[in-house]
Structure 1
Amino acid sequence: MSDTVAYKILTGEQLERLLSDRVFTGAPVDLADGYIHMSTADQAQETLDKHFAGQTGLAIAVVDLGVLGDAVKWEVSRGGALFPHIYADLPLSAVLAHGPVVRGDDGKLILPPA
Structure 2
Amino acid sequence: MPLIYKICPESLWREAEAAGRFTGAPVDHADGFIHFSTAAQVAETAARHFATAGDLLLVAVEAEALGPALRYEPSRGGDLFPHLYAELPVSAVRAVEPLPLGPDGRHVFPKGLGADEVRA
Report the CA distance between 1:103 and its aligned residue.
Answer: 5.8
User: Would the aligned equivalents of 1:104 and 1:110 in 2 still touch at CA under 8 Å?
Assistant: no
Corresponding residue SS for 1:110 = coil
Alignment match, 1:89:
87
Alignment match, 2:109:
110
**Which consecutive unaligned segments of at least 5 residues does structure 2 have?**
115-120
Once the two structures are superposed, what CA deviation does each residue of 1:20-66 show, in whole Å capped at 9, x if it has no partner? 11100000010010000000001000100100111111001000110
Report the CA distance between 1:18 and its aligned residue.
Answer: 1.6
**Which consecutive unaligned segments of at least 5 residues does structure 1 have?**
none
Alignment counterpart, residue 72 of structure 2, candidates 67, 70, 74: 74
Does structure 1 residue 43 correspond to structure 2 residue 71?
Answer: no
Does structure 1 residue 21 correspond to structure 2 residue 19?
Answer: yes
User: Would the aligned equivalents of 2:55 and 2:100 in 1 still touch at CA under 8 Å?
Assistant: no
- In 1, the alpha carbon distance for the partners of 2:107 and 2:27 equals 24
Report the CA distance between 1:101 and its aligned residue.
Answer: 0.4
Give the TM-score, by structure 2 length. 0.85
Report the CA distance between 1:111 and its aligned residue.
Answer: 3.9
Higher strand share: 1
- In 2, the alpha carbon distance for the partners of 1:78 and 1:92 equals 27
Alignment counterpart, residue 33 of structure 1, candidates 19, 31, 38: 31
Alignment match, 1:55:
53
CA RMSD of aligned residues (A): 1.8
Structure 1 runs of 4+ aligned residues shifted over 6 Å read: none
Higher helix share: 1
Corresponding residue SS for 1:42 = coil
User: Would the aligned equivalents of 1:103 and 1:110 in 2 still touch at CA under 8 Å?
Assistant: no
